[in-house]
Amino acid sequence: MAGEKCAFEQTYSFNHLPSKKPSFLQDRDFLKLLMKWSMLGRISAQSYSFDQCFYPYNSETFALCFFRDPNVVSSLRKMEAGAWVPLDKPVVSVDVEPVQCTKVSMELFDPIYSCGIVRPSGHVVKCFHDLYPDYDELRQMLQEVDSEHHYAVGKEERGEFLFRLFKHLCVGGELCQYEDTIEPYISTTKQIYKDLISVQKDPETKKISVVSTVLKVCAYDESGPCYPQRREEEQTFAYVIVDPFKRHMTLFYHGYGVGNFTL
């Protein structure tokens, strides 16, 4: 955890950018899918600008300054008991997990189509489960280490932000209605990733590469974990996506629970 660092190291100031909204939270078709997956009304993407150069080695200081900034404190919201609420106590420390983010295509998911999880038609193969009557090979691969398909996508690739997004969408919220085909998960993952991640093209090689830094963050106040929530839950998450060139960052958040049933 990062302690009292902002006073002694490089400090950052942040400004909320309320007009900067990702397209996936404005597209009606995407919102219908989020509603079906019990994530609508519980997912957000808040953008901010910052005033100093960002360096990945300084990520903990960056995150700590972010959660302590008055402009952030006044605008930041989290989901508690079905309502969006502000942080009620000052943040004293943070945990920051660097998340690998290198993919610029959807090729990472190719093995899912060829290992028996998905039929040629795109339909996800159903399977028997002791606890869940309506279960399938896709969720089993994503959630159970002893699944025969668990490492169809390699361990390193599973750590990629692109794959994490995919898994979050497939698992969904508390009352998720799961898809029969894989295409909605793939297309939604692609759009969210495209909205959140910045890339650049090398003028000589023409190769496209990711320039964003992705951090999974957890903030603590004097009582313990306070953001993304006080109670740990795999589907409650907060990712900071930093564009170091534009000096913009987006806080991508989801609080697990029962989502909205109306748009």
Higher pLDDT, 186 or 145: 186
Q: What number of other Cβ atoms are within 10 A of residue 206's Cβ? A: 7
pLDDT(223) > 50: yes
Rounded mean pLDDT, 41-47:
96
Query: For residue 1, is pLDDT > 80?
Result: no
By three-state DSSP, how is residue 244 classified? coil
pLDDT value at position 78? 95
In a domain, 8, yes or no: no
Q: Which pLDDT band, with edges at 50, 70 and 90, does 9 fall under?
A: low
Same domain, 111 and 195: yes
Q: Indicate the pTM of the whole model.
A: 0.93
Asked whether the predicted pLDDT for residue 2 surpasses 70, the reply is no
**Residue range of the domain that includes 176:** 107-200
Does the residue 3 lie in any domain?
no
Residues 172 and 92 in one domain: no
**pLDDT score of 152:** 92
**Does residue 84 sit in the same domain as residue 65?**
yes
Number of domains the chain is built from: 2
209 assigned to some structural domain? no
Specify whether 53 is located in the same domain as 123: no
Q: Average pLDDT for residues 222-240, to the nearest whole number?
A: 94
* Position 221 in a domain: yes
97 and 19 both lie in a single domain = yes
Query: 219 and 193 share a domain?
Result: no
**98, 111: one domain:** no
Residues 196 and 225 in one domain: no
Q: Are residues 114 and 128 in the same domain?
A: yes
203 pLDDT higher than 80: yes
pLDDT tens-digit profile of 90-113? 999 999 999 999 999 999 999 999
With respect to residue 259, please indicate whether it lies within any of the assigned structural domains: no
CA dihedral sign of residues 165, 170, 172, 174: negative
Q: Is the Cβ–Cβ distance between 181 and 119 less than 8 Å?
A: no
Q: Among 252, 241, 251, 249, which residue's Cα sits nearest to residue 101?
A: 241
The answer to whether position 114 is within a domain reads yes
Q: How many CB atoms lie within 10 A of CB 135?
A: 17
Residues 20 and 49 in one domain: yes
Q: Clarify whether residues 77 and 94 are in a common domain.
A: yes
147 and 224 part of one domain: no
Q: Could you please report the per-residue DSSP string of 5-65?
A: -TTTS----EEE-TT---GGGT-HHHHHHHHHTT-TTTEEEEEEEESS---GGGHHHHHHH
Among 155, 176, 200, where does a domain finish?
Answer: 200
- Choose among 253, 250, 226: nearest CA to 240: 250
Residue 116 lies in a domain: yes
111 part of a folded domain: yes
Pick from 211, 225, 151: which is nearest to 1 by CA?
Answer: 225
